[in-house]
Amino acid sequence: ESKRLRTGPVLHDPARHDDTSGQLRLVEELRLALVRDELVLHLQPQVDVGTGALHGVEALVRWQHPARGLLGPASFVPLAEAHGLIGPLTERVLELALAQLARWRADGVRLRVSVNLSASNLLDEALPERLLGRLLHHRVDPADLVLEVTENVFAGDSPQVRGVLTALAGLGAGLSIDDYGTGWSSLGYLRRLPVGELKLDRSFTADLRTDHRTAAIVGSTIDLAHRLGMRVVAEGVEDEPTLHELERLGCDLSQGYLHARPLPADELAGWVAARAA
């Protein structure tokens, strides 16, 4: 049965497990969603720890599914990765992010946008050139785009991945290491790659105030990052005491429910206005 699934699509097979046919249907719907423009970005503020100023946003993809409502990335990004759709998905997300940057620029607003890349995007040697085309089309400053990759993409030390990352950085976009500290944490790659930012994983942020070992790791990671000329973002910041601890340790930016949940662009504008008032 599973062999048949791999050799080609079987449309009506009642013997198949419900989950599998449901997932395959979702994959087909996702293929259509990409052309029907059903993906939307929610934007989560990244706030300067020292000044409280809004520095930028992380773009987090959602799928406005016609029947199921708004779906989070956990229910379709892994599916896209497994079924060859992560290339088009990422390009759609990049396109939406660049369009947002262009709108802000037209409004005189200067914010950065961080976009999440999947590991397999870094095997696509044509990505940097296509991204360059879209940057030029939207007349967006590449420095306003930050590309987040998780540290496990460095694990194999693949020349292909290194080449794509170097080319992306060569466009002028920033590179950020996401979920830092959870994976293959050899710092060797930081010496060779133009990485400008570390994002401390939420698990470190969560334990910061209650576990002195976590605080020691976070403090020395921030110091090391600064010595390497990198800035540090703490993700998952949910309360004031944690923010104060991050400030004490010299963390640059914070992101989390304390400031705001990921918001549609119009609600983000409302959030900015409410804070200014």
Each residue 30-69 as x (binds ligand C2E by CB under 6 A) or -, in order, gives: --------------x---------------xx--------
Q: Which of 118, 221, 242, 254 is in the footprint of ligand C2E by CB under 6 A?
A: 118
Number of residues that bind ligand C2E (CB under 6 A): 20
72 binds ligand C2E per the rule CB under 6 A: yes
Tracing tokens 């992306």 back to the chain, one arrives at 168
Instruction: State which residue has the least CB distance to ligand C2E.
Output: 256
Site string for ligand C2E, 138-177 (x = CB under 6 A): ----------------------------------------
Is there binding between residue 114 and ligand C2E (CB under 6 A)? no
Closest separation in Å from C-beta 254 to Ca ion: 13
SS3 232: strand
Q: How far is the CB of 148 from ligand C2E (least distance, A)?
A: 6
- Residue 151 interacting with Ca ion (CB under 5 A): no
DSSP codes joined into one string, 3-64: HHHHHS--S--TTS-HHHHHHHHHHHHHHHHHHHT-EEEEEEEEEETTT--EEEEEEEEEEE
- Could you give the CA distance from residue 230 to residue 82 in angstroms, rounded to a whole number? 33
Q: Min. distance of Cβ 253 from Ca ion in angstroms?
A: 13
Closest CA to 97 of 118, 77, 111, 81: 111
As beta bridge partners, residue 198 has: 177, 232
Residue 197 as a binder of Ca ion (CB under 5 A): the answer is no
Segment interacting with Ca ion, rule: CB under 5 A, options 23-31, 123-131, 235-243, 250-258 = 235-243
Structure tokens at 88: 């088009």
Centroid of chain to Cα 141: 19
Is 250 a binder of ligand C2E (CB under 6 A)?
A: no
Q: What distance in Å separates the CA atoms of residue 72 and residue 60, rounded to the nearest whole number?
A: 9
End-to-end CA distance of the chain: 61
Specify the residue, 29 or 42, whose C-beta has the smaller distance to Ca ion: 42
Site for Ca ion, rule CB under 5 A: 116, 148, 178-179, 235
